[in-house]
Amino acid sequence: MTDRLAKALREAMPGLEVREEEPLREHTTLHIGGPARRLLLPASAGELTELCALLRRWGEKPLILGNGSNVLAPDAGIDGTVIVTKKAEAVTLRGEAVEAECGAALTRVSAFAGEQGLTGLEFAYGIPGTLGGALVMNAGAYGGEMKDVTAWAEYLDGELRLRRAEGDALGFAYRHSRFGPEDVILRASLSLRRGDGEAVRARCRELAEKRRASQPLEWPSAGSAFKRPREGYAAAMIDRAGLKGYTVGGAQVSEKHAGFIINRGGATAEDMKKILEDVRQRVYERTGVLLEREIRIL
C-alpha cells in the first residue's frame, strides 16, 4: 500500500522520482542492504533543496546517499526516507574552475576537467563516489585529496539555511571535513590549472590501469575498509596478520588487496560487520594498532 508521505511527495513534486520498498543493495557498491521504505531521487541541486524543505515540514529526517560507495546498509533496510543524489549531476566550466552538483560522479568530473584541458583532478579518476560524498570525507588517492582542489562548497545546514564554505572553513583533514550528518552538500567549485589535455587524459588512463592491476574491482566492495593508521598502512598490517582470503559468509578479505573487503556473493551486513571486527581484533593482537573503519555503517 502506498504510504501517505510518498503520496504527498508525488503530489507536491510531480517530477520527483519516488520509489517505495526500494532495495538499498541496488544503491550501494557493496550490493548489500534491505529495502528503504521510500527512496527519492531528485534531479538537481534545486530539487534537492526543495525536497529537504518539504520533508522538514513533515517532520521527516532523510538519510542522504550519493553512490553508496563508502557505506554498509542494514539487512533489514531502513524504515524511513533515503535520498539518493546521483541524478543531481550537472557539471559546468567556469574559467579554470569546474562547478558540479553533489551527485556528479567523481570520475565523470575528473574526465570533464581533462576534456577542458584542466589539470589537478586526475587523482580522482576511478574513485567510485559522488562529489558530495568525496567532500564529506575529503576523498583522495595517489597523492591528491579534495582539499587540494576545492575552492568552495554550497550546502544546507541543519536548519536548512543555504551556506557557503571556502578555504579553512571547509575543515579538511585526513578523511574528514567540516560537513556533518545534518549538512546537505548541494554543489562545489573545484579550482584547477591549465594543462595539456592529452597529458591529463593519459594520467587518468594510467591511474585507472593502476587501480585495475592492484584492486579487486571485479567484486563489489566499499573501497578501502580502514583508514590509514599513523604507524603504517592498514593493508600491509592485515596482510602480515595472515588475513588475505579470510572469509565470513559471503564476505572476504580480498586476496588481491588486503585493504579491501569484498562481497563474494550473497554477503550480508552481518557478515561484513563480523569480518570488519575480526580483522580489527587480529591486527590489534598482532601489532597493538586498532584500525579505524573507513566504511560507514548505517
Q: What is the location of CATH 3.90.78.10 in the chain?
A: 216-297
Tens of each residue's pLDDT in the chain, 298 residues: 468 999 999 999 999 999 999 999 999 999 999 999 999 999 999 999 999 999 999 999 999 999 999 999 999 999 999 999 999 999 999 999 999 999 999 999 999 999 999 999 999 999 999 999 999 999 998 999 999 999 999 999 999 999 999 999 999 999 999 999 899 999 999 999 999 889 999 999 999 999 999 999 999 999 999 999 998 999 999 999 999 999 999 999 999 999 999 999 999 999 999 999 999 999 999 999 999 999 999 9
**Using an 8 Å Cβ cutoff, are 61 and 156 in contact?**
no
**What fold characterizes domain 4-84?**
3.30.43
Residue 278 belongs to what H/E stretch? helix 269-287
Q: Which of 177, 224, 254, 280 is catalytic?
A: 224
CA separation for the pair 20, 40 (Å, rounded) = 9
Q: What is the location of CATH 3.30.43.10 in the chain?
A: 4-84
Please write the tens of the pLDDT for every residue from 235-264.
Answer: 999 999 999 999 999 999 999 999 999 999
Catalytic status, residue 166: no
How many CB atoms within 10 Å of residue 129? 23
CA angle 108-175-239, nearest 5°? Answer: 95
Catalytic status, residue 175: yes
CA separation for the pair 4, 213 (Å, rounded) = 49
Q: What is the location of CATH 3.30.465.10 in the chain?
A: 91-203
Beta strands in 7-135 (DSSP E): 17-23, 35-41, 63-65, 71-72, 78-84, 91-94, 97-101, 118-119
Q: Can you name the residues that pair with 140 across neighbouring β-strands?
A: 145
Write the class of the CATH domain 91-203: alpha beta
Q: What is the DSSP string of 150-186?
A: EEEEEEE-TT--EEEEEGGGG--BTTB-S--TT-EEE
**What fold characterizes domain 216-297?**
3.90.78
Cell numbers given for 203: 594520467
- Cα 213 to chain center, whole Å? 22
Which positions ≥6 away from 57 have C-beta within 8 Å? Answer: none
CA separation for the pair 32, 296 (Å, rounded) = 13
Q: Which of 10, 56, 108, 175 is catalytic?
A: 175
Catalytic status, residue 224: yes
Which positions ≥6 away from 116 have C-beta within 8 Å? Answer: 93, 98, 197
Which pTM value belongs to this model?
A: 0.93
